[in-house]
A and B are shown apart, each in its own frame.
Chain A
Amino acid sequence: MRKTLWISGHPIGASQVRSFSVKGGSAGKILRVDLSDGRIWIEDTAPYAARFIGGRAVNSHLLLTETSPATSWSDPENPLIFGTGCLVGTLAPAANRVSIDTKNPYSGGKGSANFGGSFGPELKYAGFDHVIVTGKSPKPVYLWIHDGTAELRSAAGSWGKTTYETEEILQRELEDDRVEIAGIGPAGENLVKSACVIGGRFKAAGGCGVGCVMGDKRLKAIVVRGRGAVAVADGPGFMAAVDRCRAKIEASPLTPRWRKGCIEAYCPPDSPFWDLNTDRVRNGQIGNWPLERRVNLVGLEAGVPSYKKRITGCFACPAACNQYSEIGDGPYRGTRGIGYWIGSAMYSCRFDVDDAAASIKFHLLCNELGLDGDACSTVLSWALECFDKGIITKEDTGGLDLRWGDGEAMNLMVEALAYRKGIGDLLAEGGKEAARRLGRGSDGFLTAMKGQDTVDAFRIQKGWGLGLSTSPCGPRHLRGAVSSPALCGPRHIPRETTGYENQPEAVFWQVCAKEIEDIIGVCNYMGTYFGVRALEPADYTELTCAALGIDISEEEFMRVGQAAYNLEKAFNTIHAGFERQDDYPPRRYVEEPVDRGPFAGAKCDGDEWGQMLDRFYELNDWDVATGRQTRSGLYDLGLEDVAARLDEAGLLL
């Protein structure tokens, strides 16, 4: 039972990853910046694309090969790498995603985050596929990239400002309202671990503290403007592939719902989604929300959708899903902005808050201050439980009464975190470090893995949990987590979402498919992960072959995805020492069963989890006892150089 790859329902054998001569899709250049001495230089993309095609796979290879294990996340040598997918800037549906990769401030392992919007396409039109930032600036700066050139400019006018204010300031300074910005807010500047990078006010590259690294480098923003073009190798072939993809998207029964916004599509109050995902109420102490609470939060009449003024789309997206909200009265009067996700509703569950206006405010405040809502809501809800149990008192919170269900307190805590005010200074270090300093048993109700807070539910959907626990960038749900075949993950691998059977196979497929989505930069809402679920790896292969002028089969592309995953795995092994014991869920989810609702009693069984890990490692050709990579597995993927690195560190089996 080794090296089995599932394509279209049939297991097939392994084949070696090979080299590619890219003739289209690419901007052709990589921009390198050393903030310590202000040097800026340019390289060709082609040598990097030849092996890993584009996007995050190229980022991952750069990070692995250019970062010493002795380098800490806050050393100037730690690279912060922005990489566009190879189809970004083309007409491929929703090809707009950018991956950001760096050493993870939570763990020292792989830090990785991804965002959409318009920044990526603009970067391509400005002439660059990737931007690699090293060093640390003596003073706050922003990087201004325009039409093939780049310069560092003082960020004195925007440092200390929110992401919203920063957009206004930089657009005014550059006298161009068409510049695209990826930047940090006060949270990143203040080195809050849960800081993210925000693109264009509303697209968060969340998870893994990438905004914290950017702040540590005193890089306020990357601002781009490009008047160039992206060429594809086979124009007629590419447009025919685009037409086929768009027809599939239009034919999907999920598309009309999705275009109303993700809340109305997937989690209206009566959706089964709630029972499967809500076992995180009050930091995971309560396992379900009654219908009336769901109605309050997401009901059409007075919930989140009632504040929707319009739907906006990311660049080149045929199924736009971003809700733009305005709040006209009440304590949050005047609040407006783009963005509210399924995850945002889940943040509210963690706080037991069903006040829709407060929940929208929380989401938009996170964007404004540059906080990852997932990590931020997790560490804050843990703080609420500490308060509830008397471990934190009003003395610690500066008089703030942290009560479950209090939306106002929730939002005050967000500001405290971003600006490190009061208890926010402790929480800014992340749950694991905060619990270590606080003591008194507070680590017992942390929901964290690999040093990183996790917003997600583990206990009910086992494929979801396995994907989280084996994700290559901490416990993040976009990197292998699967739900039922109809909703998320491979359709062709049968599985009961609450059972353990076939979950390793489904997660393995999803990991490889997601790597492809981030190599090409197409939003996974078009394909494998909720959303309109219209596109498959076969579609990605067709688009990529025509755009880049390469000849690659779907099977080979999945192998490239698998190789890319192994680059990330190797980084984690060498830099953070992660092994099998790190792939088990948070203790609370193993020891405490779901207390109510239709899935009462569900938990992560340690033995069953171990068996899922056994199988998952077998599929990856990793060592079952330790979880480490093997020489034979890496050689099969054409990763002899990666094997040599692990061997040198004494970590190869």
Chain B
Amino acid sequence: MTRSAPDRAAPSVVVDADICSGCRTCELACSFHHSGLMSPELSSIQVRRSNHTAAIVWIVTDSCDLCAGEEELQCAKHCGSQAIRLERPK
């Protein structure tokens, strides 16, 4: 499991790789938020699944703005597995 957040003191998006199915819906929701287009390439969240072991690896890039201007996190809203959450520093 990999994660890179811009600021460890700030809230960040977290994916539970044990629950995630690897469907990548979150990538499209994120890209639509940023650009109005649907494209994994334009997404701040990236999910990869091995077809061999089914293992999930994910990253959230520095371009994540925690869905500024939206009522809720779009990646979490569209996740059918409920694998994504906003984690706030304790």
Contact = CB atoms under 8 A, between A and B. Distances in A.
Interface of A: 89-91, 118, 125, 164, 167, 177-178, 200-202, 227-232, 235, 239, 246, 249, 259, 309-320, 324, 336-338
A91 B24 CA distance: 10
Given A118-B24, A337-B52, 6 more contacts: A91-B78, A202-B51, A230-B37, A231-B37, A311-B21, A312-B54
A312 B19 CA distance: 9
Interface string B24-45: 1100110110011111111000
B41 A91 contact: no
The listed residue with most A CB atoms (<10 A of its CB), out of B25, B29, B48, B51, is B51
B38 A232 contact: yes
B51 A338 contact: yes
B54 A164 contact: no
Contacts of B31: 229
B6 interface: no
B67 interface: no
A167 B53 CA distance: 13
A317 B78 contact: no
A164 B35 contact: no
A-B pairs, 7 with minimum CB distance: A318-B80, A229-B39, A313-B23, A313-B21, A320-B21, A229-B37, A324-B54
A318 B38 contact: no
Contact of A229 (B18, B22, B38, B53): B38
Contact of B23 (A164, A231, A316): A316
A227 B41 contact: yes
A246 B78 contact: yes
B81 interface: yes
A643 B21 CA distance: 47
B85 interface: no
B39 A230 contact: yes
B78 A336 contact: no
B56 to A, nearest CB: 9
A317 B54 contact: no
| Interface bracket on B | 20 to 34
A318 B54 contact: no
A319 B38 contact: no
Nearest to A231: B37
Contacts of A232: 38
Interface of B: 18, 21-25, 28-29, 31-32, 35-42, 48-49, 51-54, 78, 80-81
B80 A320 contact: yes
Contacts of A338: 51, 54
B38 A91 contact: yes
Given A201-B51, A235-B32, A312-B49, A317 B21 contact: yes
A315 B80 CA distance: 12
B51 A229 contact: no
B38 A90 contact: yes
A178 B51 CA distance: 11
B22 A313 contact: yes
Contacts of B81: 259, 313, 320
Nearest to A319: B80
Contact of A316 (B24, B49, B53): B24
Nearest to A255: B80
Contacts of A336: 52-53
A201 B18 CA distance: 21
Contacts of A311: 21
A312 B25 CA distance: 13
Given A229-B42, A246-B78, A320-B23, A91 B51 contact: no
B23 A317 contact: yes
Contact of B39 (A178, A202, A228, A316): A228
21 contacts: A177-B48, A178-B48, A202-B51, A228-B41, A229-B42, A231-B36, A231-B37, A235-B32, A259-B80, A309-B54, A311-B21, A312-B22, A313-B23, A313-B80, A313-B81, A316-B24, A318-B23, A320-B21, A320-B23, A320-B81, A337-B52
Contacts of A231: 36-38
A291 B78 CA distance: 40
B79 to A, nearest CB: 8
Contact of A315 (B18, B24, B35, B53): B24
A505 B31 CA distance: 43
Contacts of A313: 21-23, 80-81
Contacts of B23: 313-318, 320
Contacts of B24: 118, 315-316
Given A228-B39, A313-B80, A318 B25 contact: yes
Nearest to B23: A313
Contacts of B38: 89-91, 229-232
A229 B48 contact: no
B63 to A, nearest CB: 15
A164 B52 contact: yes
Nearest to B38: A230
